[in-house]
Amino acid sequence: MMSETYSDHHFRSADDRLDLYARIYGDCSSAIPIVMMHGLTRNSADFETIAEILSPAYQLIIPDQRGRGLSQYDPDPSNYIPDIYVEDMFALLRSRNIDKAVLMGTSMGGLIAMLMAGRHPDKVAALILNDIGPAVDPRGLARLQQYVGKPVNTSNWSEAADHCRETNAIAFPDYGEEDWMNFAHRTFHLGEDGTPELSYDMAISRGVEGDTPSAAPADLWPVWRLLAQIAVLVIRGQTSDILAPATLSKMAELHDAAFQAVEIANIGHAPMLDENESIAAIQTFLKSQNI
């Protein structure tokens, strides 16, 4: 199927057990492609705005991780961990015959990007990390544990938007009714009964349970040190409870290659990358790296 702006790409998971999905934007073959990876409960729709802006100059590969969006849910919830997502992403690159790419990741997607770069730095042209670093603030994890995987009963899109507001208003205090409705359409889909339901497998919640959640490795600083020669852009929400200012400062101190950071005012976790400041930072960073 082809939409007006992107084509559908289907590929097999690294373990050859699941059918996975990615959006492909743009057909530019002269530039290094950009792989955009979403957060824990999110999906490829999150990148619609930035994808529309970048697609004339780049090919963008935007997957739904297993258990999200149009990718198949895993019958074994223990597979919802970053190490397995990493292997799925390398399977995606192989399915597209891509040897090297820019990796862009929001939250969990950024963890995946760092792990990919740590394993195969030669395959990574640059990193763009959206509100995530090698250490995750416990405050944010506690907040996620309050709502991820909890059943949500919505009979219409207005109720879906209300749910999005209840769980995310702390991050987007300036959002209005239209913003929350758009957020809902990226977060929910119509179920078989015709009512909105969340676009992720409730079982992913197991990855954020307990004091040492598997969805967020406790210490990625050893991996970060392996990335010292890769150019990095970090985007941080000013009020983020996932990426602490001290973590961002330490990231800069330990990095040898080009390191750029931008903070998005009055936004928490995580910027949607449709903010003017985020868009400008991404475009400027890519140009600075001749990408």
Show the DSSP H helices in 220-275 as ranges. Answer: 221-226, 245-253
Contact predicate 107/131, CB 8 Å: yes
**Phi, psi values for residue 268, rounded to 5°:** -100, -140
Span 74-101, pLDDT tens digits: 999 999 999 999 999 999 999 999 999 9
What pLDDT sits at residue 2? 42
Domain ranges for the chain: 6-145+218-288
User: Looking at the whole model, is its pTM more than 0.85?
Assistant: yes
What's the CA gap between 60 and 185, in Å, rounded?
A: 21
| Domain range 6-145+218-288, its CATH number among 3.40.50.1820, 2.120.10.30, 3.10.20.10, 3.10.450.50 | 3.40.50.1820
Span 58-77, pLDDT tens digits: 999 999 999 999 999 999 99
Span 179-220, pLDDT tens digits: 999 999 999 999 999 999 999 999 998 877 766 676 777 689
- DSSP-derived secondary structure for 42-83: --GGGGHHHHHHHTTTS-EEEEEPTTBTTSPPPS-GGG-SHH
Other beta carbons less than 10 A from residue 180's beta carbon: 22
What's the CA gap between 123 and 40, in Å, rounded?
A: 24
Span 147-176, pLDDT tens digits: 888 889 999 999 999 999 999 999 999 999
